[in-house]
Structure 1
Amino acid sequence: MTLARLIGTVGGVGYLRPAPGTWGSLAALPLAWVLHSLGGFPLLAVSTVAVFVAGTWATSVMTAGQEDHDPSEIVVDEVAGQFIAIWAISYPAWAHGIEITALWPGWVAGFALFRLFDIIKPGPVGWADRRGDPLGVMLDDVIAGVFAAVGVVILAGFAHGVLGL
């Protein structure tokens, strides 16, 4: 397996069926936990940037000369987006010395919201997906991850009464 394929498929996770994108998102969760456990939010944030850069490169190599700009086996984009969705719990856990596993509802909400936004592709998520290039492959999941992170923060606000409900 070439380095680009190893990165793009996240070690072969992208070949799991059905729903390789969901498998990629699921694979991101223990990776995010390990990164957060080792270095808190800063390591997760830096790793997200590294995954984005490596994923853009791997996608460009894997799709060079092909008509399909986003084959289903490429799931590194899901890892980048899912990492961003988890930022919504990683940062507060790191900043306040909370064990990140104690924020398990945020893990569930982050996963569910990210998958929802990645599948339905609202607004800018769909725009990025329609770019038809490796950057678009990565950006649609990054934007879906941002939407999911915002959703987790809003849900946490409701759950903790911060938003007055």
Structure 2
Amino acid sequence: MKAIASFLYVGYLRPAPGTWGSLAALPVAWGIHQIGGFWLLLNLTVFVFLSGYIATAKVTAGQEDHDPSWIVIDEVAGQWIALFPVSYGAMLMSADITRLWPGWIAAFVLFRLFDIWKPGPIGRADRMGGPMGVMLDDVVAGVFAALGVIVLAAIGHGVML
């Protein structure tokens, strides 16, 4: 279970294990998109969320700390959600996903910003405690980041000028 919760032990890298987890999620998301596009990324994100919830519940059972820093599977799920607009846009336009590199950067930066800052509903989810709080705050941060990616893409493509 530690291998799942730490995303194959990436969570033990220092400093900033959450950032390492988000960085490690990027090439894996690229590979998933290459194999099966947006729909595979979406399905595997659901699988990672559920697996992460179960693994987090098991490794934190009876522990005082419900969210140790080495658990980064939540960052993987959130980072993949932040990449949804990039993956979907590449699929829709039949474009090589690497050509959408500004979206990758925006998704990473915005996700880390929201995950660290924890405004509004992200902070409320984090304060839930337990494995659901561990996973859910990153899911909500991923949704906020994805919305930010969409807005930045609209501005960048002249839709919102």
Q: Which residue of 2 aligns with 1:84?
A: 81
Question: Which residue is 1:33 aligned to?
Answer: 30
- The 3-state SS of whatever aligns with 2:128 is coil
- Matched letter for residue 4 of structure 2: I
Q: Does 1:110 align with 2:126?
A: no
Q: Which runs of 4+ in 1 moved over 2 A?
A: none
Q: CA RMSD in A?
A: 0.4
Does residue 123 (structure 1) correspond to residue 120 (structure 2)? The answer is yes
Q: CA deviation at 1:45?
A: 0.2
SS in 1 for 2:143: helix
Aligned 1:65-84 pairs, distance under 5 A: 65-84=62-81
TM superposition score normalised by structure 1: 0.97
1:51 maps to a residue whose letter is V
Q: Give the Cα–Cα distance (whole angstroms) in 1 for the partners of residues 117 and 41 of structure 2.
A: 26
- Selected match of 1:15 from 9, 12, 16: 12
Choose the corresponding residue for 2:156, options 132, 155, 159.
Answer: 159
Q: Which runs of 5+ in 2 are unaligned?
A: none
Alpha-carbon distance, 1:92 to partner:
1.0
**89, 94, 104: which one pairs with 1:97?**
94
Per the normalisation by structure 2, the TM-score is: 0.99
- State the alpha-carbon separation in 2 of the partners of residues 141 and 48 from structure 1: 12
Amino acid corresponding to residue 54 of structure 1 in structure 2:
S
Size of the alignment, in residue pairs? 161
AA aligned to 1:13 is V
SS in 2 for 1:97: coil
Partner amino acid, structure 2, of 1:131: M
In the TM superposition, residue 91 of structure 1 has moved relative to its aligned partner by: 0.4
C-alpha distance in 1 between matches for 2:29 and 2:87: 9
Which stretches in structure 1 are left out of the alignment for 5+ residues?
Answer: none
Amino acid at match of 2:103: G
